[in-house]
Each structure stands twice: as C-alpha cells, then as structure tokens.
Amino acid sequence: MSSANHAGAPLTPAVIFEMLQAHQRTSALKAAIDLDIFRAVGEGPGDVASIARQCKASERGIRILCDFLVVCGVLSKEDGLYKHTPTSAAFLDPRSPACMASIAQFLGNPAMHEPFKNLAEIVRTGRTSMPGDGTVEPENPVWVQFAETMGPMMGPMAGPLGAVVLEGSTDPMHVLDIAAGHGLFGIEIAKQNPQARVTGLDWAPVLRVALENARKAGVHDRYNMLPGSAFEVDYGGPYDAVLLTNFLHHFDKPTNVSLLKKVRSALKPGGRAATLEFVPNEDRVSPPMPAAFSLTMLTSTAAGDAYTLSELTAMYNEAGYSGITAHPIPMSPHTVVMGLA
C-alpha cells in the first residue's frame, strides 16, 4: 500500500502526489466494471476499437482508461492489445467463477464514500457524519447491498471459518449465524456438516438474500431465519456454535461485551463463539489492510474499530469465555477469533 521513500534514496514527494490522486484508482476500477471492460478484454481481441465497440464507448475514453488500468496492474498491454493479468482474469472477468466485480457496488456506494468528503470534520467530532449510528442504524439498506454483492469477497473466508468452528465434526448441531448477511458463513457450516442446522439472524430484507444463497447451495431445508436485531431478538438455542462475522467492529467495547454475554447465554457449555474480523497487530499500523480498516469504522460508525487481538481477547474474557484462540486466514486480511462458553 505504501510507496514511501526508502532510506538512502533521494527524497521525492511522489507518495504525496500519488495519495492525492489515489481517488482516481477507485473511480477507474468502478467505471471499468460498470462499462464491462473486463468482459470485453476477456473476449478479445483487445484493441481499442473493438473494446470501444463492445462497451459502447468512445475510443479516446477506452484507450485512456485501459492504459490507466494497466498502470494499476489490473490489465496488461502487449503490442497495443489489452489482455488480462492473472489477477483480472480470475477476479474481474465476469466469466470467471471467482469474479468479485460485484464488490465495487458496495465499496463504491456513494453512501459509503460520502463521509470521506467530511473526513476532517469526522476526525474533529470522532464519529460518523451519517445520521444516528451510521451504517448500523436499524434496517440500513446498505446491508441488503452488502449481502447481495460482497459474497465473492467473503465467500473464500467461509471454508476456513467453517473448518475452525467444526474441527471436522459431523455430529448433529445447531449453529446461529449472527448478522448473517449473504449467509455464506452459516451455509458453509451446513455444507461441511450434513447434520448441522443453521439459523441466520439479520434484518428481514437481508435474510432474503441469505435464504436464496442457502437454496442455491442446496441446504435450505436446514436453514432457518431469525429476523431482527442481534441486540433485541431472543436467540433461542442453546447452540453448539455462534458465528459473529464482520460484526463486532461496528461497536464499542462495552456493547461488544454485552453482546458476547448474550451470545454466551445462548451457547451450550463449551459451545463456540467465532468472530471473523480485521485484526491489526498491537501496533495498529500493520498489516496494511486490517490496520487501514479502522478508518472505515471511523467514517461509518459512532464508536466502532478494528480491534487488536488483545482487545478482542479482553472482551471475550470479560464476557466469561475461556480458551480464546486466533486463527488468521491465509492469503486474506481476516482472522477468526474463537472463545468457548
């Protein structure tokens, strides 16, 4: 992420210019996805005129945008023809099963970008400029979009999360998936364990997305829905495991401790509470992606954060859990942190 000056090399202000222009990278990728450029490049032949025709766009615009994407490393250019890089072929060509172009809809949502225009003011006040509690206001429609579009990014975390939670168990069990969203984490539990029953908890419009995904995965007969707020609904149970994915970072520590206590009271003795989180190192400035995530919590919530492992462990302990373990997911910025009731 950084292109800082290195010791010994002459100082240049390149990183400053680069940061001030970095917003262009976001707009360029979003525009390329909206124009379906990655499909056109995949179909070939890759010359400017052909891509412009396929995307119903001007040649000047296509040539300049595609060159910019090459500079960014998400296309290549050989003898004047644009080609996929391995990355763009895998993750941006809509014909690829791993395509995650849809995440640009959530991450590029103007509602998520808006607070960044007021960032100095947000830093002054210390909380989101969105109304109320920001993205965690009840029934915020952004979470339907999250559920509908972020699956391709979160899906690859589901397998490793399921493996940590299940440890190979195929015993009958009941699992609660709090803030289920797209539902992929609970669905993965049901896929890995044919005797697992899963209850997805989220706001009702979001759960419709989870149920549709459960149907696609063929596990909907073992998938139940519990619509409402995680802070208000009766969880039922007792459960063998509770998933708390991408959730704690939205709230302050006391709120999380209360929530973890409520979760513990819905778990069988020895049951597992598993969070999936961006967990920066204790220095809070590494690794880049988890550390940088705090800024999204500053701009979109009243008091959320990317918590360090010691902070998460303290919250688990205060809520009465034991045996707290951390499981970084390889090749990803995410970590599973699990405690036992």
**Beta carbon of residue 205, minimum distance to a copy of itself (angstroms, whole number):** 24
22 binds a copy of itself (CB under 8 A): yes
Residue 289 Cβ vs a copy of itself, minimum distance, rounded to whole Å: 7
Which is nearer to a copy of itself, 68 or 223 (by Cβ)?
Answer: 68
Which candidate, 61, 60, 40, 64, places its Cα nearest to that of 50?
40
Q: Is 49 in the site for a copy of itself (CB under 8 A)?
A: no
331 is an interface residue for a copy of itself by CB under 8 A: yes
Per the DSSP assignment, residues forming a β-bridge with 278 are: 334
Q: Does residue 288 interact with a copy of itself by CB under 8 A?
A: yes
Residue 319's nearest CA partner among 246, 250, 244, 245 is 244
Q: Which of 280, 309, 314, 313 is nearest to 297 (CA)?
A: 280
87 is a site residue for a copy of itself (CB under 8 A) = yes
- DSSP structure class, residue 170: -
Contact call for residues 19 and 2 (beta carbons, < 8 A): no
Q: What is the DSSP letter of 251?
A: S
Smallest separation (angstroms) from a copy of itself to the CB of 287 = 9
Interactions with a copy of itself, residue window 118-157 (CB under 8 A): 119-120, 122-127, 153
**From 137-145, 185-193, 236-244, 287-295, span contacting a copy of itself (CB under 8 A):** 287-295
The Cβ of residue 278 has, within 10 Å, a number of other Cβ atoms equal to 22
Note whether 103 binds a copy of itself by CB under 8 A. Answer: yes
Nearer to a copy of itself, 38 or 203 (CB): 38
Closer residue to a copy of itself (CB): 181 or 200: 181
Contacts of 236 (CB under 8 A, 6+ apart): 176, 199, 226, 266
Question: Which of 167, 171, 234, 283 touches a copy of itself by CB under 8 A?
Answer: 283
Member of 39, 91, 206, 264 binding a copy of itself (CB under 8 A):
91
Residue 223: which region, alpha, beta or left (left: phi > 0; alpha: psi -120 to 50)?
Answer: beta
Minimum gap (Å) between residue 143 Cβ and a copy of itself: 18
Tokens 């109304």 correspond to 131
Reduce the DSSP state of residue 209 to 3 states and report it: helix
Which region among 107-115, 177-185, 221-229, 266-274 touches a copy of itself (by CB under 8 A)?
A: 107-115
41 binds a copy of itself (CB under 8 A): no
Binding to a copy of itself by CB under 8 A, coded x per residue (else -) over 50-69, reads -----xxxxxxxxxxx-xx-
Q: How far apart are CA 15 and CA 313, in angstroms?
A: 36
Q: Regarding beta strands 239-245 and 223-227, do their DSSP bridges make them parallel or antiparallel, or are they unpaired? A: unpaired
Q: Pick the binder of a copy of itself from 47, 50, 72, 102 (CB under 8 A).
A: 72
- Distance (Å, rounded) from C-alpha 13 to C-alpha 257? 44
What the block records as the tokens of 208 is: 């419709």
> Is 284 in a helix, a strand, or coil?
coil
Q: What's the closest the beta carbon of residue 299 comes to a copy of itself, in angstroms?
A: 8
Residues in 297-326 that interact with a copy of itself by CB under 8 A: 297-298, 303, 305
